[in-house]
Amino acid sequence: MSLVTRILLLTVVSAAGIVLLAPLAARTAATPDVPAALAEPLLPSGPTSGFLGDRGTLSARYAPPAAAGRADAERLDPEPMPTPATARMEATLHLVATPPPPAAPAPRRATTYAGDSVWDDLARCESGGNWSINTGNGYYGGLQFSYGTWHDYGGGEFADYPHQASRAEQIIVAERLRAERGYAPWPACRAKLGLP
């Protein structure tokens, strides 16, 4: 079907629809207006000062006639309850004691040793002789063990991290490491100190 044929068909259908619906529209326009205020069949007519209802029908639009003589009925008055013009407001303050903030832990002292062993010379070169140093660079203690090396050579039996162990405990682990690898784990200080 060509485009022109489609357009002609739609025009004919539209015109036919207008011809068929025009009388209906004229008839609807001729009907009289519906009154604006319709009587509400559920509300009582005339002024009322109140009505009776039981607790279950408080939200209903009207009170059923059977509720008028019941003992459990209550009277609902449309008039508001009197309230005072102003109400006195008072603020109440409660003081709550707060505990003091926890004391900051004491800074760790630098543990140095002025010994004459090769390990003291290595510690002075590696960490300035501070056996409890932890700078956050991944190496800990006076001989700057990595976490993995410390545990590979039995340091975990003394402390989780090398800087938490004593000088003597760090030297025990260093002796184990040296027995297997020599001074190679400390290349810069090995060259500086002339160690084999």
Which CATH number does the domain housing residue 162 bear?
1.10.530.10
Residue 137 domain-assigned (yes or no): yes
Distances (CA, A) of 189 to 3, 77, 141: 92, 99, 15
Which has more pLDDT, 84 or 24? 24
Structural domain range at position 139: 118-193
pLDDT at 112: 46
Residue 24 domain-assigned (yes or no): no
Is the model's pLDDT at 39 over the cut of 80?
Answer: no
| Average pLDDT of the segment spanning 46-66 | 51
pLDDT at 91: 74
Kind of pairing, strands 139-140 and 145-146?
Answer: antiparallel
Which has more pLDDT, 158 or 90? 158
Query: What total number of domains does the chain contain?
Result: 1
Residue 52 domain-assigned (yes or no): no
The string of pLDDT tens digits covering residues 101-128 is: 777 666 655 444 455 789 999 999 999 9
pLDDT at 30: 62
Residue 174 domain-assigned (yes or no): yes
Residue 79 domain-assigned (yes or no): no
Residue 76 domain-assigned (yes or no): no
Is the model's pLDDT at 178 over the cut of 70?
Answer: yes
> How far apart are the C-alpha atoms of 121 and 126, rounded to whole Å?
9
Using a pLDDT cut of 70, give the percent of the chain over it. Answer: 63
Distances (CA, A) of 177 to 87, 150, 169, 189: 83, 9, 13, 16
For the whole prediction, is pTM greater than 0.85? no
Is the model's pLDDT at 130 over the cut of 80?
Answer: yes
Residue 122 domain-assigned (yes or no): yes
Among 1-5, 113-117, 159-163, 166-170, the range scoring the smallest mean pLDDT is 113-117
Residue 86 domain-assigned (yes or no): no
Distances (CA, A) of 145 to 5, 76, 194: 91, 87, 20
Is the model's pLDDT at 95 over the cut of 50?
Answer: yes
Q: What is the DSSP letter of 184?
A: T
Helices (H), the chain: 3-30, 118-127, 147-152, 167-181, 187-193
